[in-house]
Amino acid sequence: MPLPSDSDAKLNAYAHPERLVTTDWLAEHLGEPNLVVIESDEDVLLYHTGHIPGAIKVDWQLDLNDATTRDYVSPEGFAEVCGNRGIGRDTTVVIYGDNFNWWAAYALWVFSLFGHQDVRLLDGGRAKWLAEGRPMTTDNPSLTPCDYPIVPRDDATIRAFKDDVLAHIGHGPLVDVRSPGEYSGELLHMPDYPQEGAQRGGHVPTARSVPWKRAANDDGSFKSADDLRAIYAEEQGLKAGDDVITYCRIGERSSHTWFVLTHLLGFEHVRNYDGSWVEWGNAVRVPIERPERPAS
Amino acid sequence: MSGTLPARLQEIVDEFAEVDRTERLDLLLDYSRSLRPLPARLEGVELERVPECQTPLFVQTEVEEGRVHLFFAAPDEAPTSKGFAAIIQSGLEGCSVDEILGTPSDFAAGMGLADVVSPLRMRSVGAILARVKRQLMTSDAPST
């Protein structure tokens, strides 16, 4: 039995309010059977300095990425990650994390690749929970491992690969959610500062710049449905039926925007290009646009 | 490049290598908590950022009578970066410039930390040491 949805008014203005819970809702439901709370952070030690009581840790690098290939875990690997943590196929999973829920959104997206039905984000993440003075603990939660079925990973519906992006240029909207400096390419050219990863700077031709941060309030929560519609629908002209691809540097910030478009605004065909700029900016002969230069 | 580590840094490497995975994580947390706060005279001073650490980490080196002093600043929300910085601070504080320049950038490879924090995140350790060395080489560090 999934837990009830949060009936909060702000959440109910979103297209899929069942994908989000407020800190109030979580505080009220903590400890209930069939609920597992996951903390997923950029900093792998942060969970251990204190976490929401009962929450378990899932790390994007150690748990969700394949250790060898640049890819996600296999169906067997995912079943192990979940089963070891007491997550069953019908468990209600609520994910929160540091840094505006980047990695929480990323983890939710990976859970969605495996079709986990009931996975939600905590609106505002770790920062909001802390700011409200809610309880934290360093106690390890007691886990009862269970069986999680081995289900295929669906890499077609919400995931885009480099060739998909290439084919998308001129055919559908691409949303670059990185900072303006990364979008323009100038950040790769600071002397003596080797930025992570890319040989070339700029953006995918035709991609529009909509930094992920525009969707967030300063307290880490998502902006209201009206504010989000003003940005993505009115200003950017994106429509709910559009075939949209989002990308950033390694796919985490674009998971945040993927979540906004898919679950908060109800877009039906949004894919996250997880290869993102670390792949595109290193790939041979893919076209790149820079503001001061014509597209190559 | 010298193959040997300054004695204190070697002790820390061994300390990590000798414990199991869970204890290693706790040890890194302990180091993280042990990072010395910036002295008052450096507060508000613009310090060099280590851009390879995703979370902000700032480094300042000073040389006094041939001995190097290391200062770091990182937010509490970045315990991994703080832990790495604390290992370098504890391991290299008071060394000579030559000892630090001779410290191999991959000194942490034998600590067994990669399976606790991930191989990708371990790159930050080398990046922090590289910033320290560069400051010492370009004599950014005030010498007294």
**If contacts are CB pairs under 8 Å, which of residues 98-137 in chain B contact chain A?**
115-118, 120-121, 134
- Bridge pairing between strands A243-247 and A269-273: parallel
pLDDT at B142: 52
pLDDT at A293: 61
Do residues B72 and B83 make contact, with C-beta atoms less than 8 angstroms apart?
A: no
Chain A partners within 8 Å of B134 (Cβ): 192
Nearest-neighbour CA in chain A from B23: distance (Å) = 12
Contact at CB, A61 and B120, closer than 8 angstroms: yes
Q: How far apart are CA A60 and CA B106, in angstroms?
A: 24
pLDDT at A296: 54
Nearest-neighbour CA in chain A from B120: distance (Å) = 8
What proportion of chain A, given as a percentage, has pLDDT over 90?
90
Q: Measured between CB atoms, which of B78, B115, B134 is closest to A43?
A: B78
Q: Measured between CB atoms, which of A44, A61, A196 is closest to B52?
A: A196
Q: How far apart are CA A7 and CA A20, in angstroms?
A: 10
Mean pLDDT, residues B51-66 taken together:
84
Give yes or no for B53 touching A (CB within 8 A).
no
Nearest-neighbour CA in chain A from B100: distance (Å) = 20
From the candidates A26, A93, A110, A248, give the one annotated as an active-site residue: A248
* Confidence band of B2 (pLDDT split at 50, 70, 90): very low
pLDDT at B49: 81
* Confidence band of A191 (pLDDT split at 50, 70, 90): very low
Give yes or no for B28 touching A (CB within 8 A).
yes
* Confidence band of A189 (pLDDT split at 50, 70, 90): very low
What proportion of chain A, given as a percentage, has pLDDT over 70?
95
Contact at CB, B117 and A44, closer than 8 angstroms: yes
The yes-or-no verdict on residue A163 having pLDDT over 50 is: yes
Please say if A248 is a catalytic residue: yes
* Confidence band of B123 (pLDDT split at 50, 70, 90): confident
pLDDT (tens digit, 9 = 90+) per residue, A233-265?
Answer: 999 999 999 999 999 999 999 999 999 999 999
Sign of the alpha-carbon torsion through A193, A195, A196, A198: negative
**Going along chain A, which residue ranges are E strands?**
20-21, 35-39, 56-57, 92-96, 119-122, 159-160, 174-176, 208-209, 243-247, 269-273
Best B57, B84, B118 member to test A by mutation, with max A CBs in 10 Å, is B118
Nearest to B141 by CA among B103, B85, B97: B97
pLDDT at A165: 98
Start-to-end CA distance of chain A, whole Å, equals 54
* Confidence band of B1 (pLDDT split at 50, 70, 90): very low
Q: How far apart are CA A220 and CA A124, in angstroms?
A: 4
Chain A partners within 8 Å of B28 (Cβ): 45
What is B7-38+47-137's CATH number, 3.90.1010.10, 3.40.190.10, 3.40.190.150, 3.40.190.290?
3.90.1010.10
pLDDT (tens digit, 9 = 90+) per residue, B28-38?
Answer: 999 999 999 88
Start-to-end CA distance of chain B, whole Å, equals 26
Chain B partners within 8 Å of A188 (Cβ): none
Contact at CB, A98 and B120, closer than 8 angstroms: no
The yes-or-no verdict on residue A73 having pLDDT over 80 is: yes
Mean pLDDT, residues A194-215 taken together:
88
Across chain B, mean pLDDT equals 89
The yes-or-no verdict on residue B77 having pLDDT over 50 is: yes
Ordered alpha helix ranges (H), chain A: 9-12, 23-29, 75-84, 102-113, 125-131, 162-168, 180-184, 225-229, 253-259, 276-280
Mean pLDDT, residues B62-78 taken together:
94
Mean pLDDT, residues A177-182 taken together:
91
Residue at B87: amino acid letter = I
Mean pLDDT, residues A22-46 taken together:
96
Contact at CB, B29 and A49, closer than 8 angstroms: yes
Half-sphere exposure of A174 (CA within 13 A, CB side): 25
Chain B partners within 8 Å of A98 (Cβ): 77
pLDDT (tens digit, 9 = 90+) per residue, A205-219?
Answer: 999 999 999 999 999
pLDDT at A188: 65
Domain residue ranges in chain B: 7-38+47-137
Mean pLDDT, residues A120-142 taken together:
97
Give yes or no for B22 touching A (CB within 8 A).
no
What proportion of chain B, given as a percentage, has pLDDT over 70?
91
pLDDT at A292: 72
pLDDT at B139: 65
The yes-or-no verdict on residue A183 having pLDDT over 60 is: yes
